[in-house]
Chains A and B, each alone.
Chain A
């Protein structure tokens, strides 16, 4: 395997334009002769499907939910960044580029991130034209707000439902193409294998989740937009159906997996309340503007928080980071919360929470101001916990939120398998080792609306695409492969449920491949994951059959893949002997406990190649070169 990032030459700000000028085009009359499969209907998949159909391609759009509108992009709350500089506050494409590169702790490509910043402005235009009701000022122009990691106001938003509104915009464009006959929807289908013919991605195998039928679909190119793999941790802010199966099966067909250990843990989520807990809910980071984070100074202090006097409280963020206090970035806040809980000073029933206290802010500003600023969040907190945060401090704890790693792609968003393109959270491309808030929506839509329509044409125009039908041997082999996998899962008839295995895997991942990692723990995790995987294939119990809707069977396949991906994440984390962004290795920290990056030895993308079951994956390195931004150390003291 050879990694060719295909980065264009020339000055940074001209790279994309020059590259576009060099890309080959497909004649409009010929586009309709080509079929493109798009898997996933989140921001990246829906926007790609709609745009490719607008150009004239035949698009087959697949999703696992009952409707394309359910994709997990819908849950994004805060907003979307764009370098519009509508606020006249000094924003520019350069500044958005710089913030994103720095926010990613210098582990992403300059050319990709610059293109993302350039395209950000077009996304807002497109969304507004679709009727997305962004927040506006009284003068009728678009409103902005500030977000973490930036000193300008560049975030566009639609209340706390920005992801929902952007997704419904992309989904409406997709449905318009359904109406025009250029897109066919395949809901409740799960992609279970990629079909590669003569070295090129030419189709997919899916399972119809309602009837259990295994279907073959042929195309000239496959676009994967299936999201991230946060659910490997079992508990995360991801939706229950979010999974890595499609991406993982592509990895096993030859697509390199890049930086799997880069995961983002968000500091402010509602903590776990019991063993039965199924997912975690995010509380907006904006709460840290007025809330003060603390734990009791004494270990195991079980008193009611309002009975713990001021001098017996440890406002640990304010103590450790006097300059930034409660507003340190996500990775720093998350690690600090874990540290105090590990010391035995965590609160709540399981000792796995810290307080976020608004008492001082209410005293200073009055309850009405706080209600105005955070009322809907306080209501949501009360709905879930049954506690009133106006009177009792909130309990919060970090939770897995986003995965920066993903399938490796070149500048054209093509994986190491020709004809397989990967978009949005499913690829690794733009966020380095840490993603800034309000940038995920931006990347998904830039990939789908404005990058793939250009680059896929270049691939189709420049590639000899033999006539292929679903009768080809490769389709039969892939279908047999899928059937065998399903039959094997159903035949085990063991004693432990899929959920129990997933929960156990999640505990291993969270304890050893979570917020802070060390070599010993990672080696232990690899052993434990292997043991658990072995047990899974001997002792999992899946009720029902494969001919009906069977969620346990669906989840069994996903958990089987998580049991392999989890190991790769640990292997990647073990090999990366440095701390950067969301990847904190305890051995590599400054004397005062901050992340210690090693640019000399680790300024590269780690792309892993599958070498067969039970064999060590092979590491390929794509060096990262910084021509325009000089990597520096982040400090928040």
Chain B
């Protein structure tokens, strides 16, 4: 099997209160079939064998759906492949001898926990500020009572596909969470079930987003470019309309 040598520059940081720095490592036994995270597994096995501390990075499903993996790879959240989360990126997209810089998602509301792991609980707090439809178990009407045109359901699904990884924030020069927040506001504003709380939801979620310290959107569209689920900035436009509507209508 073909082996590649890679030069890695990886952000190491002991904990939230310690300073961090880029540390260089060379890896000689990378194969093109490996996933990016498996390449880091191999690095960690080498580090452990030498008695050094492995690099911590968040990951779980390794199928591109849980949203737990992150990483800024050569300056791009989730790396160079379009519409691909880090866990589904494979080493065949890199060349023998490449230098790869790996950093955590960087944004003030995402403090570093350790090495490449960041705290994204701000996202949970934003969704807890109205990112839901108030319905208790047991009180729902029959599912086919409200017909929803297929086009509307499909558009709501496009927005609902968000995996909450936070790449949009990491890519934004303002560290704005607009793509993430708008995806939820948009999904629920499109559906008839979301109407009763529509205004309140938009106001509260946006207020919470600001409170968490995320920046404003200034239409760079970097978020859309890195989104592993190709969430469109059309939703940000809809979020703005929802906000105006809630303020003035």
Contact = CB atoms under 8 A, between A and B. Distances in A.
A159 B88 contact: no
Interface in A555-589: none
Interface residues of chain B: helix, strand, loop or mixed (majority): loop
A74 B14 CA distance: 31
Contact of B194 (A131, A165, A240): A131
Contacts of B172: none
A161 B136 CA distance: 24
A551 B115 CA distance: 12
Contacts of B66: 65, 69-72, 74-75, 239
A355 interface: no
B203 interface: no
Interface in B127-165: 127-144, 146-150, 153-154, 156-157, 160-161, 163-164
Given A70-B68, A450-B137, A383 B132 contact: no
A500 B49 CA distance: 11
Contact of B124 (A84, A130, A137, A185): A185
B173 to A, nearest CB: 25
A125 B135 CA distance: 11
A50 B134 CA distance: 11
A175 B63 contact: no
Contact of A136 (B67, B68, B139, B148): B148
Interface in A118-158: 122, 124-142, 158
A549 B67 CA distance: 19
A134 to B, nearest CB: 7
Contacts of B32: 386
A277 interface: yes
A383 B90 contact: yes
B8 interface: no
Interface string B158-178: 001101100000000000000
Which of A131, A159, A176, A453 gathers the greatest number of chain B CB atoms within 10 Å?
A131
Interface stretch (B34-42, B210-218, B239-247): B34-42
Contacts of A142: 143-144
Interface string B1-40: 1000000000000110000000000000001111101100
Contacts of A541: 48
Interface string B41-62: 1100101110111101011111
A128 to B, nearest CB: 4
B153 A125 contact: no
B65 interface: yes
B197 to A, nearest CB: 10
A131 B191 contact: yes
Contacts of A65: 60, 66, 68
A625 interface: no
Contacts of B35: 278, 384
A141 B147 contact: yes
B193 A130 contact: yes
Interface string A207-234: 0001000000000000000000000000
Contacts of B38: 276-278
Interface residues of A, number: 82
A499 interface: yes
A633 interface: no
Nearest to A242: B60
A67 B121 contact: yes
B88 A161 contact: no
Contact of B67 (A50, A69, A185): A69
B187 interface: yes
A449 B153 contact: no
Given A126-B135, A129-B140, A168 B33 contact: no
A427 B61 CA distance: 21
Which of A84, A136, A142, A384 gathers the greatest number of chain B CB atoms within 10 Å?
A136
B220 interface: no
A620 B154 CA distance: 51
Which of A125, A129, A164 gathers the greatest number of chain B CB atoms within 10 Å?
A129
A281 B63 contact: yes
B117 interface: yes
A275 B164 CA distance: 31
Given A187-B121, A386-B90, A551-B56, A543 B51 contact: yes
B207 interface: no
B164 A544 contact: no
A544 B61 contact: no
B113 interface: yes
B120 interface: yes
A129 B63 contact: no
A136 B148 CA distance: 8
B132 A175 contact: yes
Contacts of A125: 140-143
A54 B144 CA distance: 24
A70 B85 CA distance: 14
B101 interface: no
A14 to B, nearest CB: 20
Interface string A273-293: 110111101100000000000
Interface in A294-311: none
Contact of B140 (A68, A84, A128, A551): A128
Contacts of B161: 159, 161, 164
B119 interface: yes
Given A68-B124, A70-B67, A140 B148 contact: yes
B137 A50 contact: yes
Interface of A: 47, 50-51, 54, 65-72, 74-75, 84, 86, 122, 124-142, 158-159, 161, 164-165, 168, 171-173, 175-176, 178-179, 185, 187, 210, 239-241, 273-274, 276-279, 281-282, 349, 383-386, 449-450, 453, 497, 499-500, 541, 543-544, 548-552
Q: Which 9 A-B pairs have the closest CB atoms?
A: A140-B147, A129-B140, A172-B132, A125-B140, A133-B157, A128-B143, A175-B128, A273-B33, A133-B156
23 contacts: A54-B136, A65-B68, A66-B58, A66-B121, A125-B140, A128-B146, A129-B135, A130-B133, A132-B160, A133-B154, A136-B150, A161-B65, A165-B160, A239-B66, A240-B59, A273-B33, A281-B62, A383-B81, A543-B53, A548-B14, A549-B15, A549-B56, A549-B117
Given A50-B137, A129-B143, A158-B157, 14 more contacts: A67-B124, A67-B164, A70-B67, A129-B139, A133-B156, A135-B157, A136-B153, A276-B41, A349-B1, A383-B90, A384-B88, A386-B32, A543-B51, A551-B56
